[in-house]
Structure 1
Amino acid sequence: KIADAAHKVGYHSKGIFLSRLDKPLPELRLGFVLLKKSQQFYSDFATHIEAAISERHDYRITSDIRFSSSQSPDEFTDLLKTLGRRCDALACTAVNDPRLNRVVQDLKDKNVPVVSLLNDFAQGIRKNYIGLNNMKIGRLAGWMITKTVHQPGKLAIFVGGNRWHGHDLREVGYRSFVRESDLGFTVLDTLVNLETRQVTYEVTLDLLQRHPDLRGIYIAGGGMEGAIAAVREVHSTPKVALIVNELTAESRAGLIDGYVTMVISTPLKELCRTLIDQMIQATIEADDGVSGQMFLEPRIVLPESF
């Protein structure tokens, strides 16, 4: 029917057209490991992956998306091993750990390339890293707080855990910018929230109680919902600058109400399109032994963005 319609509108190479239609598309199976599906960001991430795959008409791609329920290296390694047995290429956001390095090396030896997402794990072994420049993201958070808070005091930073290299880089960037600004701010000891809203909520309440001169909080990883809830509970009007990652229903509401100063958002649509391109290329090109990095520009969302 498509060929006949093309013929009617003046496309007369019907035979060539039919041969192209009949030619089977190359098939690929791509595997993905993300964090908790209950978090809106990762649920949205999966949706964007599927959308990017659906846009490809040059390959017949089957996706297998799995979610890790924790930060356990063992869970990540199990998921990678399982997907590695059935997929042509993998992409994963995971912690930094020697066990993951071994699994990624084993997969590489079996010609199953792995792309690290958001957090650059298995450096020197994985095929590529796609995400934000985490050092610059930390400096951006420091810049915003020091420019919007006009009274010296204490600043806090939360990271998801001690195995997230990306969070470490954000912390370094944040601390270095605050130190270089020399405006009288003091960054407190780093707090670990395990990427959970409940831990973040409880620790933020404690921070607000113990440090009346707390001026700003930067959530370098997940768990921002807890911080937003805590500052709302303690302050009837916004008094602490709060920088968080990713635009969700809760961070959007926080921006609109003034409790969130800035959201640093990952451009998921662009990331996923680039990711699918790179995964396809990795399956058809010989491994040259070179690992790459692709830094995407973050989307900055402010209260006046709406």
Structure 2
Amino acid sequence: MANRPTIKDVAAAAGVSATTVDRAINGRMAVRKDTLQKIVDAAHRVGYHGKGSLMNQLAENKPRCRLGVVLVKRSQEFYQNFAKEIEAAMATQHHVRGEVVIRYAASQSPDDFATELRALGNTVDAIACVAINHQKLDEVVQELKDKGVPVVALLNDTAQGIRKYYIGLNNMKVGRSAAWLLTHTISKPGKLAVFVGGNRWHGHDLREVGFRSYIRAEAPSFTVLDTLVNLETRKVTYEATLDLLHRHPDLTGIYVAGGGMEGAIAALRESRRAGEVSLIVNELTHESRAALADGYVQMVNVTPLPELCSELVKLVTETFDEASEGVPGQRFLEPRVILPEMI
């Protein structure tokens, strides 16, 4: 095939001789591990298709890294995409024998999260989880830490002071940005509603605090109604939104700080003209994209999943590759803000 990469191309990219590459591929003589890694990396870069034997040789000396992941809402598009991005990110780590084991909590109860975390703790090297905040989970994360299994909190900062790392958005900022957009695009001040998934989602609480603090300081002519808990479900959000619209005809904006946006979108489509009540939601899915196009959603805050998953896998694999505990802390990612004109 024309322009198909050759051994010489791999050698040039790796900075070694073609003879060394030939020895590595055919196993005629031993090749140092660091040199073999350079050749494998170069083979990936140039698209050399005969790298299978190289990978097999290198795999024998690679450290293993088995990452367990606990997610929720198996049927939701966002979490399906999340799982795919984690697996894709691990596949790029050629310096370890990486494997991802993904489990889904059956519900948002602390017992269900604890069950999945404990089960994974017996079989993996590290765990990443999207979980609620609860004392039971603090205990489980401490158990895992004592066993040498570090836990990385994703999206919601679970087990603060015990978990190894947090990767997600700055939720206070996310809430403030939602308040800014609503108050700058609604022509006449009125009432605003906020939905959170539940009081055990620390990230949702922070978004609500950011939202309310902005309104108090920068837009006091708006009134924020009592916060509603929707359990991140479509049905609860749908029914609560219809009730809000009935009880508050002067409602001008809704912020869904967690999941369940599909219910708010459906209720507005049934009861109001597009744009009559401004709506801000999270994550770009088929439904939120359609609502943006139709004018029922004014902004979508999107978690940069590829960046988040790359950061997670890099953290875990480098920690084990260096045989160290890594650096505890947190990483705030910048959300993508999607407006109707951007789709």
Alignment TM class, shorter chain as reference: over 0.9
Count of residue pairs brought into register by the alignment:
302
Tell me, yes or no, if the aligned pair for 1:247 and 1:263 is still in contact at 8 Å.
Answer: yes
Partner of 1:194: 231
Residues 96-135 of structure 1 mapped to structure 2, 5 A cutoff: 96-135=133-172
Q: Supply the distance in 1 between the matched residues of 2:199 and 2:220 (Cα, whole angstroms).
A: 29
Instruction: Return the match for 2:195 from 148, 158, 163.
Output: 158
Residues 256-295 of structure 1 mapped to structure 2, 5 A cutoff: 256-283=293-320, 284-287=322-325, 291-295=328-332
Instruction: Return the match for 2:78 from 37, 41, 59.
Output: 41
| TM norm structure 2 | 0.85
When Rg is computed on C-alpha atoms for both structures, the one with the higher figure is 2
Amino acid aligned to 1:287? E
Partner of 1:139: 176
Q: Does 1:304 align with 2:311?
A: no
> What is the deviation of 1:50?
1.0
Q: Give the stretch that moved more between structures: 178-187 or 198-207.
A: 178-187
Q: Tell me: higher relative CO, structure 1 or 2? Use CA pairs within 8 A at least 6 residues apart.
A: 1
Q: Give the superposed CA RMSD.
A: 1.7
Q: Supply the distance in 1 between the matched residues of 2:219 and 2:121 (Cα, whole angstroms).
A: 49
Residues 70-109 of structure 1 mapped to structure 2, 5 A cutoff: 70-109=107-146
Q: Supply the distance in 1 between the matched residues of 2:274 and 2:148 (Cα, whole angstroms).
A: 56
Partner of 2:274: 237
Q: Which runs of 5+ in 2 are unaligned?
A: 1-5, 12-16, 37-53
Q: Supply the distance in 1 between the matched residues of 2:298 and 2:74 (Cα, whole angstroms).
A: 26
Shift of the 7–236 alpha-carbon distance from structure 1 to 2, 3 Å rule, reads: closer
Partner of 1:27: 64
Q: Supply the distance in 2 between the matched residues of 1:285 and 1:154 (Cα, whole angstroms).
A: 54
Q: Which runs of 5+ in 1 are unaligned?
A: none
Q: Supply the distance in 1 between the matched residues of 2:264 and 2:237 (Cα, whole angstroms).
A: 6
Q: Does 1:52 align with 2:101?
A: no
Aligned-residue sequence identity (percent) comes to: 59
Amino acid aligned to 1:158? F
Q: Supply the distance in 1 between the matched residues of 2:180 and 2:273 (Cα, whole angstroms).
A: 26
Tell me, yes or no, if the aligned pair for 1:127 and 1:291 is still in contact at 8 Å.
Answer: yes
> What is the deviation of 1:7?
5.5
The C-alpha deviation readout for 1:47-101, integer Å capped at 9, x for no partner, is 1111111112111112110111211000000100000000000000000011111
Moved over 4 A (4+): 7-10
The C-alpha deviation readout for 1:210-232, integer Å capped at 9, x for no partner, is 00110100000000000000001
SS at match of 1:217: strand
